[in-house]
A and B are shown apart, each in its own frame.
Chain A
Amino acid sequence: MSAVEVAAVQTDDDLRRVLDDDGKVISGVTVPEVSDEELHHLFDTMLMVRIVDERMMRIQRQGKLGFYMKSLGEEATHLSVFPLRQDDWIYPSYREQGAWFWRGYTIEQFLNQLFGNCKDATKGRQMPVHHSANWLNMVSISSPVGTQIPQAVGTAMGMKASGTDQVAMTFFGEGTSSTGEFHVGMNFAGVSKAPAIFVIRNNGWAISTGTEKQTAAKSFASKAIGYGMPGVRVDGNDILAVIQVANDAVARARAGEGPTLIECVTYRVEGHSSSDDPSVYRNPAEPEAWGPRDPLNRLRGYMKNKRLWTEGMEKEISDRCNDEISKYMALAEAHGAPEVESMFDDVYQDLPWHLKEQKEYLLSQARTKNPHLHN
C-alpha cells in the first residue's frame, strides 16, 4: 500500500497541519503551491459562505425559508475541491456550500434552489440545500446520508473504464462512515482502484451523536486499512493543509494509483440544521474551545503576514456579497412556484397514460394555496 506523501508536519499524533492557530506557517513545513490570486479566491469563497450562511439562517428564522444548514467553522473543508479540474466530478453532501461557489455556482442559482421557485434548476423538487448542477459536474444530493458514496465510486469506475484521467470526489460527515453505503463504496473503490477521493468532514457531531458513539476505531481515517487504501487525517480548519492533502490524493487518483480517504478534523460550531438545538445535548463550552481555531481567521492571519489582506478588501467582498444576496433574494421571492403540471415531468422521460390522467385530474381541480411559499 503506497502512503500518501504529505509535506506538512504531523502534530497531535497523525494530524497533518501547515498553519498554526494564528495562521503562521509551522516551522519546517513545506507550504503547498497556491498563487496570490488563488489565495484571494479562497478567502473570497470562504467569506462568502459565511455571509450567505448568516443571511440565510436569518431569513429561515423569519419564516421565509423552510430549512437551512450552516457550515460555520467547516468552510475550509469544502475547498478540498481546490485541485480539481472542471471536468472532474463532485458528489457533495449537504454541507459543502464552498465547493459549489468555488466551482462557479452563483448566489442567484443558490437562492433559487433554496426558494424552490420556477427558476430553480431542480424545479423545486427537493428541500433547501439539495442542489444539482450538471453543468458543473456536481451531482444531485439526497437526504439519506451516504447514498452518494457508491455513486461517486461508480462515476470513478466509469472514468477508469473510459480511460480518462478524471477523478471523482465525494463528501460526507463522520456519521456517514457507519452506513452500509460507506462500506460498499470504499470496498468497491479499493478493489477496482477507482480514481475516487473520499472526504470525511469529521465535525464531531452527527446531529446529536458524538464521535465516540459513532465508532470504536482510533480515527475515521484508520478505517481505510480495511479497504486497502491510504487514509489521511488532516486539520480541517487549516486551509493549506487541506489543499496539500487533497493535492496528493488527486494526483494519486489521476496517476491510476487508486482511491484515498481523507479525514478533515473540524468542528460543527452551530446546530446540525435550522431544525436542531445543540444546547439540548452538548456542553455550550465545547464550541467555544474551537473559536481560536477558526479557519477563516487562520487564512486571514496567513494572508496578513503575506500582506495580501486589508480591511478594505474584506469589506469590499462583504459588501458585494451582501448586495448580491439582497438583489437575488428579492428576485427569488418574486419568482413564483414552478407550474403545477411540472409535478408530472421527469418521473419518466415520457409521460405515461396514468400520469397524464392524474395530471388532467389535478389541473381540473381548483388551485390550492401553497402554505410554504410566501408570495
Chain B
Amino acid sequence: MPDGQSEKTENEAMPMPPQAPTGPAFAYFDQDEEAKALGLFEILSEDSSYDPANTARFDKALSLDLYRGMLLTRLMDKQFMALQRQGVLGFYAETLGQEAAGIGSAAALSSQDWLVPALREHGAGLYRGMDFGNFVAQLFGNANDVTRGRQMPLHPSDPATRYVNMSSCIATQLPHAMGIAMGIQIAGDGSEVCMGYMGDGATSEAEFHVAMNFAGVRKAPVVMVCQNNQWAISTPGTGQTASETIAVKGLGYGIESLRADGNDILAVYEVSKYAVEKARRGDGPTFIELLTYRVSAHTSSDDPSRYRDESVTKVWRTKRDPLVRMRVFLEKNGWLSEADFEAMVTQIEAMVRKSVEKQRDVTMPPLSSLIQDVFQTPWWRLEEQLATLEAIVD
C-alpha cells in the first residue's frame, strides 16, 4: 500500500459503528410470502411520526450514528460533485435521496460480513469503516490509490472492511455476492454473511437471475438488496419490468422477499437486520427491495430533465427526504440540538476538505504500475512494452 497509512487521522473520525440492542417483533414479518413482497414496511412515516414501541432498538448512539452516516454521504457528495463540475474530478455519482437505503442496510452488518456494492454504496462502505483517505485517493486515481488508478472514480476497494471492488457493468457483482456466500457456506465458520447490492435496472440482467436462482437453490447466507430508485439512467421502473413490485421477483426463486420504505432508515435497518440474522442462523437468503428515488442525476454525465418530470423529483426531495425524517426523530428524542447538528456539519466538511487537499496534488501512479497486476508476474511482452514506453517518456 503506498501512502495510504498516513490517513490515520481520518480513520479516527470514522470509528466502527455501535452494535444495536435487540429490536421488537413486527407483524409485517409474520405475513405470508406474497403479502410481504407486495407490502411496504415502514417505522418512521413521511412526517416522522412513529410508534415508540417500534423504535426500542434505536438508542441514542445507534440513531446518531446512522444519521451521521447519511449526513457524511450527503455533504461529501456535495463537495465531490462541485469538484467534478470544476473539472478536478473526472466523474462522480451522488447518492442524494438514497442515503437511508445504503447506510441503513449496511449498518445491519457486522465487521466480519461482506459488502458487495453497486454504484451508490460508497457511503455505506465509509460507514463501515473504509479508510476515507484511500477513498478520496481512488477518486483522484493518484499514487495513493490502493487500486493504482485503474478505474474511474467511485470504484473503491477495501479488503480490510470486506468492501469488494466493483466493475461499472451492471449486475455482474450479484453472482459474486452469491459466490461469496457459497464460499462462506462451504469454508466459513458460520459467522459471516454477505450483502449484495443492485439498482432496479439490474434486476433485468441475466446475472440477477442466475445469482438469485443459485442463492435460492443453495440456501446461501446472502442478503440481496435492491435500491429501487425508480430510474436506470433514463428508463423508469415501468420500462424495466411488468411485475407489481421488484420484491415479488424473489418468489420465483423461492427466496423470502421483503419490501421497505427506503427513505425510512429505521425500517431499512429492521428489515436488513432480520435478513442478516436469518442468514447468520443458516436459514438462507433474503431479497430486499428498498423503495426510494434517485433525486439526483444518474451521474455527473447525465441530465434527467431530458427524460423525466422533475416535479415528481421535487416531491421526493422535499417531502420524503430521508435525512429530514431522521433528524426530526432525533430532535423528538432530544438527541440532536441545532448546535450539535452544526458541529457535526462543520466537522464532516472540514474532514472532507482536508482529505481533498491532501490528495488532489498527489502524482499519478508510476509508469511501472501499468504492467503490474495483469498477472502475478508480468510476462516478457509486458516488460518489453514497458521498456518501450519508458524510453519514449524519458
Say whether A229 contacts B209, CB under 8 Å.
no
Question: Which of the 9-residue segments B6-14, B97-105, B108-116, B241-249 touches chain A?
Answer: B241-249
A222 to B205, CA, bound (A): 19
- Least Cβ distance of B362 to chain A in Å? 42
Say whether A225 contacts B213, CB under 8 Å.
no
Residues of the B chain whose Cβ atoms lie less than 8 Å from the Cβ of A191 = 238-242
Say whether A216 contacts B216, CB under 8 Å.
yes
What is the predominant secondary structure among interface residues of chain B facing chain A? helix
A180-B206 in contact given A222-B252, A226-B251 (Cβ < 8 Å): yes
Residues of the A chain whose Cβ atoms lie less than 8 Å from the Cβ of B238 = 191
Say whether B206 contacts A226, CB under 8 Å.
no
Residues of the A chain whose Cβ atoms lie less than 8 Å from the Cβ of B248 = 225-226
Contact flags A183-213 to B (C-beta < 8 A → 1, else 0): 1100100110100000000000000000001
Q: Does A228 contact B (CB under 8 A)?
A: yes
A180-B242 in contact given A225-B248, A226-B248 (Cβ < 8 Å): no
Say whether A216 contacts B255, CB under 8 Å.
yes
Residue among A216, A222, A225 making CB contact with B217, cutoff 8 Å: A216
Q: Does A218 contact B (CB under 8 A)?
A: yes
Say whether B243 contacts A226, CB under 8 Å.
yes
A217-B254 in contact given A180-B206, A181-B206, A187-B204 (Cβ < 8 Å): yes
A179 to B219, CA, bound (A): 19
Q: Does B208 contact A (CB under 8 A)?
A: yes
The residues in B between 346 and 368 inclusive whose CB is less than 8 angstroms from any CB of A are: none
Q: Does A164 contact B (CB under 8 A)?
A: no
A179 to B208, CA, bound (A): 11
Residues of the B chain whose Cβ atoms lie less than 8 Å from the Cβ of A217 = 216, 251-254
Residue among A179, A182, A184, A215 making CB contact with B216, cutoff 8 Å: A215
What is the predominant secondary structure among interface residues of chain A facing chain B? helix
Residue of B204, B213, B238, B249 with most chain A CB atoms under a 10 A cut-off: B213
Say whether A190 contacts B209, CB under 8 Å.
no
Say whether A225 contacts B251, CB under 8 Å.
yes
Residues of the B chain whose Cβ atoms lie less than 8 Å from the Cβ of A214 = 217
Number of interface residues of A (CB under 8 A): 27
Residue among A1, A182, A222, A258 making CB contact with B251, cutoff 8 Å: A222
Q: Does A227 contact B (CB under 8 A)?
A: yes
- Least Cβ distance of B79 to chain A in Å? 38
Contact flags B314-333 to A (C-beta < 8 A → 1, else 0): 00000000000000000000
Chain A residue at smallest Cβ distance from B239: A191
Say whether A228 contacts B207, CB under 8 Å.
no
Q: Does B233 contact A (CB under 8 A)?
A: no
Chain A residue at smallest Cβ distance from B37: A225
Say whether B240 contacts A215, CB under 8 Å.
no
Residue among A184, A187, A216 making CB contact with B254, cutoff 8 Å: A216
Chain A residue at smallest Cβ distance from B249: A226
Q: Does A24 contact B (CB under 8 A)?
A: no
Chain A residue at smallest Cβ distance from B210: A180
Residue among B204, B219, B243, B244 making CB contact with A184, cutoff 8 Å: B204
Query: What are 8 sample pairs from A and B whose C-beta atoms fall under 8 A apart?
Result: A179-B210, A183-B209, A183-B210, A216-B213, A216-B254, A216-B255, A225-B249, A225-B251
Task: Given contact pairs A191-B241, A213-B217, enumerate 6 new A-B contacts (beta carbons under 8 Å).
Answer: A1-B244, A180-B206, A181-B206, A184-B206, A191-B242, A215-B216
Q: Residues of A with Cβ closer than 8 Å to B?
A: 1, 178-184, 187, 190-191, 193, 213-218, 222-229, 258
Q: Residues of B with Cβ closer than 8 Å to A?
A: 204-210, 213, 216-217, 219, 238-244, 248-255
6 tightest CB-CB pairs across the interface, nearest first?
A: A180-B206, A216-B254, A228-B242, A183-B209, A190-B242, A216-B216
